Amino acid sequence: MDYNTEMLTNLARQVAEVFKTQVAEHIQTGASSLTIADVETGLRELLRQVGGQALSLFLSSALGTPAAEIACDCGDTLHYQRRRPATITTVFGKITYERAYYAGCRCGQGKAPLDEAYGLEPGAMSSGLAALLGLAGIEFGFDESRAWLQAFLLFDVSENTVRSETQTLGALQAERETALIEQSQDEDYLQARLRDAAPVPPRLYGSLDAAKVRIEPRPKAGKKPEKQDDWRDMKVGCWYEAEPVPPSQRSSRQRDKFAREQAVLRAKNMQYYCDILDAEEFGKLLWGTGCAVRADLAPELVFVCDGAVWIWNLVALHYPHAVQIVDWYHAEDRLKRVAHAAFSSERDRAAWLEPVTTHLWDGQVEVVIRACQALALGCEEAQHAVTYFTNNAHRMGYDQFRAAGYLIGSGTVESGCKQIVTQRLKRPGAQWTVDGAVHTAKARAAWLSGDWQTLCAQRAALPLAV
């Protein structure tokens, strides 16, 4: 909303006069002089109280004079009863307002049209406050969120309230994803997309990874709680495009990369999704979210992932025509591990590692395999490397991939794992139920994907409690 400058100036003068009076009274009591921080906090508190009263007055007068009768949802008629008070918690704190209340229908249901018009639920909180609580809950631990919000909002909310609102948003994201999965199984929908003129990215990337989450042991019926924590895989996926990094925006590492590769790309338009599921069930989410971004229709679809078997099995099943690339840095690191295990001196390691890494960079995977085989009899790490490079040889044509202009690093999804799992779910002392971990992660994934406002709008549209 835009506000008239003159109107804002007049309001500001009134607020300043009220605050000036309060400051004068404060000084007359003999209290110490105020700092600018005291002034800022005092003004914020004044504006919070003014906002709360203004919101109360606005809601109480929003719908004007009540009608004598209105239609009931059952098709019959509701009759005006009285103006009935209600209390909600908002970004200004708790406020009370009055609104017209209707009842008297034979179905026994009552209605307050104002509540329906603005998505209000008496005794609950506004959707605007819920969005702020959720934002804090995906960024900080729930206990820490409480302190942060108190400093920000100037009133207190409970840790459980932050948890509840955060996970409500995550549950809504889960519902959105379930709808995508169901839609992606609908043959009519899939056929209709072929006739849809909506734009399709000329080159789309997909990446998958997983990170461990500690699940709190729960007692089973008639049994003692398990002593050991249960560590579960939070699988994370991302759809994205890529663009060149302008020279002026390149980091020193990216400048070095340009000198070697003559190209520096970065991800854009990231869409993250995640869940604690077995591979088969997660594959449904991979396909459902992929259909939503039209991955199956993209002229070029490129998957860049690590060497995990479950990942490539899902890619082959759902997107058999996609280009498959094993993340360069994982492959390079595998050679470093072999060198470290096979040679005791740094000189011998470098003498073996430098040429074999160059061969890998040039897509000469057979040469790399032979180099590892030569060490395999006395080095278990080299034995594993032979299997790794043999199984993924067709995904390691790095010379060809670079020539085609492809990204060859899976840093986008690894960043997603760090931001969704490591930074939020693995905070010190954090323990989770499966649902709590999943819903918090899904809410954070929506934020990282730029879908937060859509999710909050869905929260605002929730049906009111009966």
Q: Give the pLDDT score at 254.
A: 78
Confidence of residue 465 (pLDDT cuts 50, 70, 90): very low
Tell me the mean pLDDT in the region 34-42: 91
Confidence of residue 228 (pLDDT cuts 50, 70, 90): low
Q: Give the pLDDT score at 460.
A: 87
Tell me the mean pLDDT in the region 116-135: 93
Task: Look at residues 208, 94, 89, 138 and name the one whose alpha carbon lies nearest to residue 455.
Answer: 138
Q: Which residues pair with 304 in a beta bridge?
A: 325
Instruction: Quote the percentage of the chain above a pLDDT of 70.
Output: 96
pLDDT single digits (tens) 311-320: 999 999 999 9
Distance CA 182, CA 193 (A): 15
Q: Which of left, alpha, beta for 405 (phi over 0: left; psi -120 to 50: alpha)?
A: left
Overall pTM surpassing 0.85 (yes/no): yes
Q: Give the pLDDT score at 375.
A: 96
The residues, any chain, with a CB within 8 Å of residue 341's CB and separated by 6 or more, are: 379, 380, 381, 382
Q: Give the pLDDT score at 466.
A: 33
Tell me the mean pLDDT in the region 272-281: 98
CB 230 within 8 A of CB 215: yes
CB 307 within 8 A of CB 392: yes
What residue segments make up the domains of the chain, in order of their start? 1-34, 330-395
